[in-house]
Structure 1
Amino acid sequence: MPLSEYEQRVLEQMERQLTSDDPRLANTLTQRGRRSVSRYLIAGTGAAIGLLLLVLGAAGSLPLLGVVGFVVMFAAVAFAFADPQRGGRRSGPRGVVQADGAVRPSASARKGGFMSRLEQRWDRRRDEGR
């Protein structure tokens, strides 16, 4: 059953509000990227090699080999579930969507810096509490 015009307007308004409130979440929800199969094959191979080294280290009473196997296994699983980095693309909010649909760069996108973003969030929360 299709949405009525009122429901469509309310949905669009909710989308704009989400995008302006939390652009990072909105960006994450709209991305349709999937990890490639080769990424999982590499991670599976690494996990199998790590497990083999771990077992050989335990069977041969070689604790260093077991530790290396565990680290390789852990790194392979982390590689499988990590977000692939796209060249030069930085994460975080890039701007604020205004009511007319225009995107204006956010202060954090202009200034950057972890501490400045924390200070801005703190100031914004303090102002909202008044």
Structure 2
Amino acid sequence: MPLSEQEQRLLDEMERSLYRNDADFVATGGRRGRPNYRSVTIGILLAAAGIAALIAGVAIPQLLVGIAGFVLMFAGVLLALTPSKRLTPEDITSSTGSPRAAAHDSGGFIGRMNDRWERRQEGRE
């Protein structure tokens, strides 16, 4: 069953919006940097210390020790899971200097899908 003109326009608008947002995501750092193993290790140690303090706060009925243990545990997990913010320009751009090209130079499945999508969009416009 063919779409009405209004439905076709709405679908085209949604496709353009999705394509624009996807390009913005790739350009603004859709990639994560390398994990910072030091912060992961420190975070795990803080979380373990926080669990120990939380258990100690329950074992000896001290509310402040339990709360401090929970805060320490939460901070450790947050530190371990937060991605590294240090991205070099080489991580984002390729030899062509374009963040968009860097996403396509990766070769894999996503790069091929993006190339097919761009060819399809260029054929329509």
TM-score category (smaller protein): 0.3 to 0.5
- TM-score, normalised to structure 1, is 0.46
Higher helix share: 2
